[in-house]
Amino acid sequence: MVPVTVLKQAGRFQKLRAIRKHLREWRPDIVVAYKTIPSTYAEIAGLPGRNWRLIVSERNHSHRGPTLGFKTRMLVHHLSDAVVCNSNVQCELIRNHASSLSAKTFHVANCLNLGHFRPATEHERPVAASEPIRLLVLGRVDWQKNPLRLCEAVHSVREQHGIDVVVDWYGNSFLNNGKPGPQSGCYLKTMQCIQERAAQAWFRLHEPVRDVRELLWRSDALMLASLYEGFSNVIGEAMACGKPVLASVAGDNVRLVEEGSNGFLFDPLRVDDIARAIVRFARLAIHARAAFGMEGRRRAEALLSPERFLKEYEAIFAYVRRGQ
């Protein structure tokens, strides 16, 4: 059993002081910090005279490039022994724009519980139907996820190609007790698009759910139209569940989805290209869709296993222990 200590201090300086005190009392060999704020706390808490090895994380993609925030984080990362990115695109950004960190920057993709995220059994699988084509979107309703262009693309597929496509979108709408909040602008615009296209029956927004496995089982494919991404967990989960993926050419999507093998890729800025990918998928025979799903599962087992994840982290542990 791994002991867990929860630090409940409210203010930033109080948290920093508590982390510093805890680390100096506990005297760990290696500290691994996840996400931006914990990484920054861990880096500053080591000053002065840190006597443990520190691994920090970059878990998002800085899609705007080397901004002031990015440059500041990279400067602080010099206080660490290793920087782990969960996306290859973020690794490349660091190597290109913070080259002094290159030698200690590593790429470790996320891993999945491949026992939980798995293809449905015959008993669990819904009854197959030729129509409609059921596309599943998992993610918050915001501008990054590109709902307006997706809605336009599905409308185009239905009107111009006569293909019955239904989108079920599960994610945070950022409403506060049903009322608009400061982050709900994209949701409101999406609802407007749905109303203007009379799309209530085929572009459906739902509240987020905790376990998405059964949603994936009931879908024909996962759709991810994001304008930018780092590493997409939902693509990995869909692949592990044996589902084809339609995804934008953003971030590490292109490393997970192989065009014409386990899914289709598209330019998220072009409505016609999103529509093209949907049409290509819709015209696949049932056995071809199944083959896409099987290939996705094979890729998930090869790329996203916990064993691979642990092996790569063990190599980083060995690196920082050598003090290089």
CB of 250 within 8 A of CB of 170?
Answer: no
pTM: 0.91
Annotated domain spans of the chain: 12-111+305-321, 133-303
For domain 133-303, the CATH superfamily is Glycogen Phosphorylase B; (3.40.50.2000)
Rounded distance between C-alpha atoms, residue 266 and residue 231, angstroms? 17
Note the pLDDT tens digit of each residue in 180-230.
777 889 999 999 999 999 999 999 999 999 999 999 999 999 999 999 999
Share of the chain above pLDDT 70, in %: 97
84-88, 128-132, 158-162, 176-180 — which is least confidently predicted? 128-132
Please tell me which residue, 18 or 63, carries the higher pLDDT value: 18
In the chain, the percentage of residues whose pLDDT exceeds 90 is 81
- Three-state SS for 13? helix
Q: Taking Cα atoms as reference points, which of 83, 44, 87, 70 lies closest to residue 235?
A: 87
Give the whole-angstrom CA distance, residue 178 versus residue 157. Answer: 31
- DSSP states of 131-190: SSEEEEEES-SSGGG-HHHHHHHHHHHHHHH---EEEEEES----BTTB--TT-HHHHHH
Please check whether the two domains, 12-111+305-321 and 133-303, share a CATH topology. Answer: yes
Residues 6+ apart with CB under 8 A from 182: 174
- CB-CB neighbours of 96 under 10 Å: 11
Q: Which CATH number fits domain 12-111+305-321: 3.40.630.30, 3.40.50.1820, 3.90.190.20, 3.40.50.2000?
A: 3.40.50.2000
Sequence-distant (6+) residues with CB within 8 A of 211 are none
